[in-house]
Chain A
Amino acid sequence: MTMQQIYLAIPLLPLLAAIIIGLFGKMLPRAAAHLVTIAGVAVSCALSIYVLKDAMTSQPYNETVYSWLKSGNFSFEIGFLIDRLSAMMMVVVTFVSLMVHIYTIGYMAEDKGYARFFSYISLFTFSMLMLVMSNNFMQLFFGWEAVGLVSYLLIGFWYTRPTAIYANLKAFLVNRVGDFGFLLGIGLVLYHFGSLDYAAVFSVAPQMADTKINLIGNASWSLMTVTCILLFIGAMGKSAQVPLHVWLPDSMEGPTPISALIHAATMVTAGIFMVARMSPLFELSSTALSFVLIIGSITALFMGFLGIIQNDIKRVVAYSTLSQLGYMTVALGASAYSVAIFHLMTHAFFKALLFLGAGSVIMGMHHDQDIRNMGNLKKYMPITWLTSLVGSLALIGTPFLSGFYSKDSIIEAAKFSTITGSGFAYFAVLAGVFVTAFYSFRMYFLVFHGKEKWREHKADHHNHNLHKDAHTQDDSHDDAHNDDHAHHHGLSPTDNPHEPGWVVKLPLILLAIPSLVIGYFAIEPMLYGDFFKGVIYVNNEAHPAMHALTHHWHTIFHSAVGMAMHGLMTLPFLLAFSGVALAWFFYMKRPDIPAMIQKRFALINTILENKYGFDSLYYRMFAEGSRFIGNKLWLIGDVKIIDGALVNGTANLIGKLSGIVRKLQSGLIYHYAFAMIIGIFFMLSFYTLKF
Chain B
Amino acid sequence: MVEYFTQHLLSFAIWLPILAGILVLFTANDSKPNATRWVALIGSLVSFAVTVPLYTHFNFADGGFQFQEGFQWILTFNINYHLGADGIAVPLILLTSFTTVIVVIAAWEVIEKRVAQYMASFLIMSGLMIGVFSALDAILYYVFWEAMLIPMFLVIGIWGGPNRVYATVKFFLYTLLGSLLMLVAFIYLYHQTGSFEIVDYYKFPMPLNVQTLIFLAFFAAFAVKIPMWPVHTWLPDAHVEAPTGGSVVLAAIALKLGGYSFLRFAMPIAPDAAHHLSGFMISLSLIAIVYIALVALVQKDMKKLIAYSSISHMGFVTLGFFIFNNLGLEGAMVQMVSHGFISAAMFLCVGVLYDRVHSRQIEAYGGVANTMPVFAAFAVLFAMANSGLPGTSGFVGEFMVILGAIQVNFWYAFLASFTLIFGAAYTLWMVKRVFYGEVANQHVATLKDLNKREFLILATLAILVLALGVYPQPLTDMTNATVTQLLSQLSQSKLPAGL
C-alpha spacing A69/B390, complex, angstroms:
13
Residues of B within 8 A of A149 (CB): 384, 389
Using A165-B437, A634-B295, A675-B180 as known contacts, say yes or no to A191 and B406 having CB atoms under 8 A apart: yes
Number of interface residues of B (CB under 8 A): 81
Query: Is B476 touching A70 in the complex (CB atoms < 8 A)?
Result: yes
Chain A residues numbered 433-488 whose CB sits less than 8 Å from any CB in chain B: 475-476, 479, 482-483
Q: Say whether B244 faces chain A, with CB atoms less than 8 Å apart.
A: no
Q: Say whether B49 faces chain A, with CB atoms less than 8 Å apart.
A: no
C-alpha spacing A152/B432, complex, angstroms:
11
Using A172-B424, A637-B291, A682-B183 as known contacts, say yes or no to A671 and B331 having CB atoms under 8 A apart: no
Choose among A69, A183, A679 the residue that contacts B472 (Cβ–Cβ < 8 A).
A69
Choose among A141, A187, A629 the residue that contacts B294 (Cβ–Cβ < 8 A).
A629
Query: Is A669 touching B417 in the complex (CB atoms < 8 A)?
Result: no
Give the interface residue-count category, chain A: 35 or more
Chain B residues numbered 374-396 whose CB sits less than 8 Å from any CB in chain A: 380, 384, 389-391, 395-396
Query: Is B168 touching A671 in the complex (CB atoms < 8 A)?
Result: yes
Residues of A within 8 A of B420 (CB): 176, 179-180, 183
Query: Is A633 touching B432 in the complex (CB atoms < 8 A)?
Result: no
Interface flags, B432-475, vs A, CB<8A=1, else 0: 11011110000000000000000000000000000000011100
Query: Is A71 touching B176 in the complex (CB atoms < 8 A)?
Result: no
Q: Say whether A630 faces chain B, with CB atoms less than 8 Å apart.
A: yes
Query: Is B331 touching A71 in the complex (CB atoms < 8 A)?
Result: yes
Query: Is B473 touching A67 in the complex (CB atoms < 8 A)?
Result: yes
Query: Is A186 touching B403 in the complex (CB atoms < 8 A)?
Result: yes
Residues of B within 8 A of A180 (CB): 417-418, 420-421
**Interface of A: prevailing SS:** helix
Interface flags, A135-155, vs B, CB<8A=1, else 0: 000100110111001001100
Residues of B within 8 A of A142 (CB): 390-391
C-alpha spacing A141/B403, complex, angstroms:
13
C-alpha spacing A315/B154, complex, angstroms:
59
Q: Say whether A602 faces chain B, with CB atoms less than 8 Å apart.
A: no
C-alpha spacing A678/B179, complex, angstroms:
11
Choose among A66, A627, A651, A674 the residue that contacts B471 (Cβ–Cβ < 8 A).
A66
Query: Is B406 touching A177 in the complex (CB atoms < 8 A)?
Result: no
Query: Is B291 touching A672 in the complex (CB atoms < 8 A)?
Result: no
C-alpha spacing A282/B126, complex, angstroms:
54
The segment out of A156-164, A381-389, A421-429, A566-574 that lies at the interface is: A156-164
Residue of B nearest to A188 (CB): B406
Residue of A nearest to B188 (CB): A686
Choose among A70, A647, A650, A667 the residue that contacts B480 (Cβ–Cβ < 8 A).
A70
C-alpha spacing A676/B143, complex, angstroms:
10
Chain A residues numbered 611-654 whose CB sits less than 8 Å from any CB in chain B: 626-627, 629-631, 633-634, 637-638, 642-643, 646-647, 650-651, 654
Choose among B180, B327, B384, B390 the residue that contacts A74 (Cβ–Cβ < 8 A).
B327
Q: Say whether A68 faces chain B, with CB atoms less than 8 Å apart.
A: yes
Interface flags, B155-181, vs A, CB<8A=1, else 0: 001000000010011101111100110
Query: Is B183 touching A683 in the complex (CB atoms < 8 A)?
Result: yes
Q: Say whether B32 faces chain A, with CB atoms less than 8 Å apart.
A: no
Q: Say whether B57 faces chain A, with CB atoms less than 8 Å apart.
A: no
Nearest-CB distance from A255 to chain B (Å)?
A: 16
Query: Is B417 touching A679 in the complex (CB atoms < 8 A)?
Result: no
Choose among A69, A70, A627 the residue that contacts B298 (Cβ–Cβ < 8 A).
A627
Choose among A74, A173, A627, A643 the residue that contacts B233 (Cβ–Cβ < 8 A).
A643
C-alpha spacing A160/B439, complex, angstroms:
8
Nearest-CB distance from B479 to chain A (Å)?
A: 9
Q: Say whether B410 faces chain A, with CB atoms less than 8 Å apart.
A: yes
Query: Is B428 touching A633 in the complex (CB atoms < 8 A)?
Result: no
Residues of A within 8 A of B476 (CB): 69-71
Query: Is A671 touching B169 in the complex (CB atoms < 8 A)?
Result: yes
Using A74-B326, A629-B294 as known contacts, say yes or no to A68 and B424 having CB atoms under 8 A apart: no
C-alpha spacing A191/B297, complex, angstroms:
32
Q: Say whether B19 faces chain A, with CB atoms less than 8 Å apart.
A: no
Residue of B nearest to A644 (CB): B233
Nearest-CB distance from B193 to chain A (Å)?
A: 14
Nearest-CB distance from A632 to chain B (Å)?
A: 9
Q: Say whether B279 faces chain A, with CB atoms less than 8 Å apart.
A: no
Q: Say whether B477 faces chain A, with CB atoms less than 8 Å apart.
A: yes
Using A69-B472, A165-B437, A180-B420 as known contacts, say yes or no to A678 and B410 having CB atoms under 8 A apart: no
Query: Is A668 touching B165 in the complex (CB atoms < 8 A)?
Result: yes
Query: Is B432 touching A165 in the complex (CB atoms < 8 A)?
Result: yes
Query: Is A71 touching B327 in the complex (CB atoms < 8 A)?
Result: yes
Residues of B within 8 A of A141 (CB): 390
Residues of A within 8 A of B395 (CB): 145
Residues of B within 8 A of A582 (CB): none
Residue of A nearest to B396 (CB): A69
Residues of A within 8 A of B370 (CB): 160
Using A145-B389, A187-B402, A188-B406 as known contacts, say yes or no to A72 and B325 having CB atoms under 8 A apart: yes
C-alpha spacing A172/B400, complex, angstroms:
22
C-alpha spacing A683/B413, complex, angstroms:
43
Query: Is A668 touching B153 in the complex (CB atoms < 8 A)?
Result: yes
Q: Say whether A690 faces chain B, with CB atoms less than 8 Å apart.
A: yes
Residues of A within 8 A of B294 (CB): 626, 629-630, 633-634
Query: Is A156 touching B436 in the complex (CB atoms < 8 A)?
Result: yes
Residues of A within 8 A of B422 (CB): 626
Query: Is B400 touching A682 in the complex (CB atoms < 8 A)?
Result: no
C-alpha spacing A632/B77, complex, angstroms:
51
Residue of A nearest to B471 (CB): A68
Residues of A within 8 A of B472 (CB): 68-69
Query: Is B437 touching A72 in the complex (CB atoms < 8 A)?
Result: no
Query: Is B170 touching A675 in the complex (CB atoms < 8 A)?
Result: no
Nearest-CB distance from A141 to chain B (Å)?
A: 6
C-alpha spacing A162/B424, complex, angstroms:
19
C-alpha spacing A370/B472, complex, angstroms:
50
C-alpha spacing A630/B309, complex, angstroms:
13
Residues of A within 8 A of B437 (CB): 159-160, 162, 165, 476, 479
C-alpha spacing A439/B399, complex, angstroms:
43
Nearest-CB distance from A214 to chain B (Å)?
A: 9
Query: Is A169 touching B429 in the complex (CB atoms < 8 A)?
Result: yes
Query: Is A675 touching B179 in the complex (CB atoms < 8 A)?
Result: yes
Nearest-CB distance from A408 to chain B (Å)?
A: 38
Q: Say whether B146 faces chain A, with CB atoms less than 8 Å apart.
A: yes
Interface flags, A1-25, vs B, CB<8A=1, else 0: 0000000000000000000000000
Using A172-B428, A633-B291, A643-B233 as known contacts, say yes or no to A68 and B473 having CB atoms under 8 A apart: yes
Choose among A183, A479, A646, A672 the residue that contacts B417 (Cβ–Cβ < 8 A).
A183
Query: Is B424 touching A160 in the complex (CB atoms < 8 A)?
Result: no
Using A71-B327, A668-B165, A671-B168 as known contacts, say yes or no to A173 and B424 having CB atoms under 8 A apart: yes
User: Could you jot down 16 A-B contacts, CB within 8 Å?
Assistant: A68-B472, A72-B326, A72-B480, A74-B327, A159-B369, A169-B428, A176-B421, A187-B405, A479-B438, A626-B422, A633-B294, A647-B170, A667-B157, A671-B176, A675-B172, A676-B146
| Residues of B participating in the A interface, judged by any CB pair closer than 8 Å | 77, 146, 149-150, 153-154, 157, 165, 168-170, 172-176, 179-180, 183-184, 187, 191, 230, 233-234, 291, 294-299, 325-327, 330-331, 366-367, 369-370, 380, 384, 389-391, 395-396, 399-400, 402-403, 405-407, 410-411, 413-414, 417-418, 420-422, 424-425, 428-429, 432-433, 435-438, 471-473, 476-477, 480, 484
Q: Known A-B contacts: A141-B390, A184-B406. Give 7 more (CB < 8 A).
A: A169-B429, A173-B428, A479-B437, A647-B170, A647-B234, A671-B169, A671-B176
| Residues of A participating in the B interface, judged by any CB pair closer than 8 Å | 66-74, 138, 141-142, 144-146, 149, 152-153, 156, 159-160, 162, 165-166, 169, 172-173, 176-177, 179-180, 183-184, 186-188, 190-191, 213, 215, 475-476, 479, 482-483, 626-627, 629-631, 633-634, 637-638, 642-643, 646-647, 650-651, 654, 667-669, 671-672, 674-676, 678-679, 682-683, 686-687, 690
Across the A-B interface, the 6 shortest Cβ-Cβ residue pairs: A72-B326, A187-B406, A630-B294, A630-B298, A165-B436, A142-B390
